[in-house]
Amino acid sequence: MMINAQTSPGVPLFLSDNHAMYRLTADATYLLLPIEEKEENANVNLVVSNETAQTFNVKLAVDHIDYFVPLDISRYKGKQVLLDIGFNANRRTTGDIKDYSCWKELKTASTFDTANREKFRPQYHHTPDWGWMNDPNGLFYKDGVYHLYFQHNPYGSQWENMSWGHSTSRDLIHWEHQPEAIMPDALGTIFSGCCVVDKNNTAGFGANSVIAIYTSAGRSQTQSLAYSTDDGRTFTKYDRNPIITSNVPDFRDPHVFWNEDTKQWNLILAAGQEMNIYTSDNLKDWTYASSFGHGYGNHDGVWECPDLVKLPVRGTNEYKWVLICNINPGGPFGGNATQYFVGQFDGHKFTCESKPEVTKWMDYGKDHYAAITFDNAPEGRNLLLGWMSNWQYANNVPTKQYRSANTLPRDMYLFNDGGETYVGVEPAKELLALRDRAVVKASFTLGSKTFKQLFKNPTGAYEIVADIAPATGSKLGLVLSNSKGEKVTMTYNTADKTFSMDRAKSGDTTFNEAFPAMTVAPVKGGGIKRLRIFVDNSSIEVFEADGRMAMTNLVFPAEPYNTLTLTSDGRCKVNSFTVYSIKK
Ligand code: FRU
């Protein structure tokens, strides 16, 4: 419902086949722009008093309207606003510019309706209210509140116009949407980056100010700084941006942290297929220290979105450093994935302790990317959050009002296995509070070839917890299915110590040929005794309960999976099997 909507509030002027202007008096909060996704982008200059107030790209509707996006014109109240619109000469639709459907459907309104219209929107994962989202950015915690910024297109549900959207939460699960935090400027659109809480006023913007450092994606990729003195609600851009430059073309995604060992700030960013490390005392002036990556791990794509964290090795008194390296493409099942390196860091140089050819992945699904940690997290936690999609098909998944969700938050630690040290990713403890009724509670033993059908639960959001003791060498199958015959087949193979998930028949898989897939994870650290499987309308995240195996995959079933079938080719004791519905 659009309150006080006024259709065709202005007058279009047609100057050529590719150029139009639209003039109106700004007397409402929003101008609602009609979008048609199959169109090419039109470039819009928002002109106020003969100056460009804003410029952005938007797929203005030509034939039909997929949805509307809100352009906030509230700050120009009473003024004349001119949209100077250049249509792309290569757009698919031919026909007279005067007949484009956008002219009749432009509306002003006092509100923008963000009520959910999507059946695939997750219930307990973060999503943007509207528009496209990719990487999480600037994650930090302060005074009881977690802040999540994200790569956002406020003017469409496909990648464009990168800005920092903003959401806040007290429990990492329930998120409240906040106004857009950082918008593009003359230096470029706002790509990925980080926030830190400057407790001791090292940057000079005030004690406890929040400092954002991000990539300005302009003619080159450079790093810029913005500061906030109202706990991350609004940011002021530093007047001496950019603060770090380079002639490397892919030069982005800075991540900053306070290094307690050396009492300095460190910054790590992606530079081509390496990670550059810098030091600073004031967050503004950075000194290059070293690069890591040449010859190490997977290099089948661009290195992006790094992080560097010191983690405890469980069961020892040791700490080691982990360098997180998101890579696209090059992931084990195509497209993007999160690899990491374990080693030591002296404040200047990261040294990997494994052989160069060793590759370690943090999650063995297809939909875990751009994962980074929260700054200043409470109780010394090392909290990780990722983007739950894959660049292979993220722009085509079957949603419209929004596109993409975040993964569940995970606590990171290290564990030793077979002479190597690996990252464990435990589902954050806040998820336990989401458990509602146990819709199934059972214990049983599966014999060879027998199966057990469990749970009829109409909703698409639940957690399955299974304590299992499969016979050595046996295979345990778990099939989630619905009445349409759509299914996801998971197999724990104790012989080759793998866990796999096949989503080839999981529902709508037709939107991109890279979507149907089978993903396979090695099972480390003595096998799986407890499985936790989080299902949320369009995603499945499987964890060995301590996080020594994680697999995140999207699915788009026509109706929720409401049946789980367990099979075993050997004896498998299921000591306890519970399905929890999820609290609203
Ligand atoms: C990773 C990434 C980053 C970049 C951002 C742009 O998904 O490509 O490297 O900063 O997305 O949206």
Q: How far is the CA of 135 from the centre of ligand 1 (A)?
A: 6
Whether ligand 1 lies within 6 angstroms of the CB of 463 is answered as: no
**Ligand 1 close to Cβ of residue 304 (< 6 A):** yes
Question: Ligand 1 centre and the CA of 329: distance in Å?
Answer: 12
Confidence at residue 49, expressed as pLDDT on a 0 to 100 scale: 92
Nearest CA to ligand 1 atom 6: 191
Nearest alpha carbon, ligand 1 atom 9: 304
- CA 470 – ligand 1 centroid, Å: 42
pLDDT of residue 4: 60
CA of 305 to the centre of ligand 1 (A): 7
Using DSSP bridges, classify how beta strands 163-169 and 145-153 pair: parallel, antiparallel or unpaired.
antiparallel
With a 6 Å cutoff on the Cβ, whether 134 touches ligand 1 is yes
* CA 226 to centroid of ligand 1, rounded, Å: 19
Q: Is the CB of 370 under 6 A from ligand 1?
A: yes
Paired tokens of 21: 């202007």
Closest-lying ligand 1 atom to the alpha carbon of residue 304: 9
Q: Residue 94's pLDDT is what?
A: 67
| Beta carbon of 133 within 6 Å of any ligand 1 atom | no
Apex 147 CA angle, 377 and 179, nearest 5? 170
Rg (CA), the chain: 25
Q: Is the CB of 271 under 6 A from ligand 1?
A: no
Tokens representing 60?
Answer: 């203005």
Residues 6+ positions from 263 with CB-CB distance below 8 Å: none
Burial class from Cβ neighbours inside 10 Å (0-12, 13-18, 19+) for residue 212 reads: buried
Give the closest residue to 545 by CA, choosing from 562, 527, 566.
527
Q: What is the pLDDT of residue 1?
A: 43
- 273 Cβ inside 6 Å of ligand 1: no
What is the C-alpha separation between 285 and 547, in angstroms, rounded? 38
Confirm or reject: Cβ of 368 under 6 Å from ligand 1.
no
CA 202 to ligand 1 centroid distance, Å: 28
The phi, psi pair for 293, rounded to 5°, reads 135, -30
C-alpha distances in angstroms, 364 versus 337, 379, 436, 465, 564?
Answer: 8, 28, 28, 19, 22
- Coil, strand or helix: which one is 51? strand
pLDDT in 10s for each residue of the chain, 584 residues: 444 678 889 999 999 999 999 999 999 999 999 999 999 999 999 999 999 999 999 999 999 999 999 999 999 999 999 999 999 887 666 689 999 999 999 999 999 999 999 999 999 999 999 999 999 999 999 999 999 999 999 999 999 999 999 999 999 999 999 999 999 999 999 999 999 999 999 999 999 999 999 999 999 999 999 999 999 999 999 999 999 999 999 999 999 999 999 999 999 999 999 999 999 999 999 999 999 999 999 999 999 999 999 999 999 999 999 999 999 999 999 999 999 999 999 999 999 999 999 999 999 999 999 999 999 999 999 999 999 999 999 999 999 999 999 999 999 999 999 999 999 999 999 999 999 999 889 999 999 888 998 887 669 999 999 999 999 999 999 999 999 999 999 999 999 999 999 999 999 999 999 999 999 999 998 899 999 999 999 999 999 999 999 999 999 999 999 999 999 999 999 999 999 999 98
CA distance 162 to 152: 6
Q: Is 153 in the pocket of ligand 1 (CB under 6 A)?
A: no
Phi/psi region, residue 143 (left: phi>0; alpha: psi -120 to 50; beta: rest), is left
Residue 521 Cα to ligand 1 middle (Å): 26
The verdict on the CB of residue 366 being under 6 Å from ligand 1 is no
Q: What are the DSSP calls for 73-126, one per residue?
A: -GGGTTSEEEEEEE--TT-S--S-GGG-HHHHH-EEES--------TTS-SSS-
Q: How far is the CA of 192 from the centre of ligand 1 (A)?
A: 6
Q: Which atom of ligand 1 is nearest to the CA of 336?
A: 7
Of the residues 250, 304, 395, which should be mutated to test ligand 1's pocket, given the most ligand atoms within 8 Å of the CB? 304
Ligand 1 atom having least distance to the Cα of 270:
9
Residue 541, ligand 1, Cβ within 6 A: no
Catalytic site residue 261? no
The CA distance from 209 to 142, in Å, is: 10
Q: What does the DSSP 8-state code read for residue 185?
A: B
C-beta of 372 in contact with ligand 1 (< 6 A) = no
Instruction: Single out the catalytic residue among 135, 253, 363, 536.
Output: 135
pTM here?
Answer: 0.97
Q: Which atom of ligand 1 is nearest to the CA of 159?
A: 12
Report how far ligand 1's centroid is from the alpha carbon of 134 (Å).
Answer: 7
Beta bridge pairs of residue 580 = 438, 463
Tell which one of 57, 151, 255, 407 to mutate to probe ligand 1, the residue whose CB is within 8 A of the most ligand atoms: 151
User: What CA–CA distance (Å, rounded) separates 217 from 224?
Assistant: 10
- CB-ligand 1 contact for 215 (6 Å cutoff): yes
C-alpha distances (whole Å) from 529 to each of 203, 361, 430, 523 are: 49, 21, 22, 11
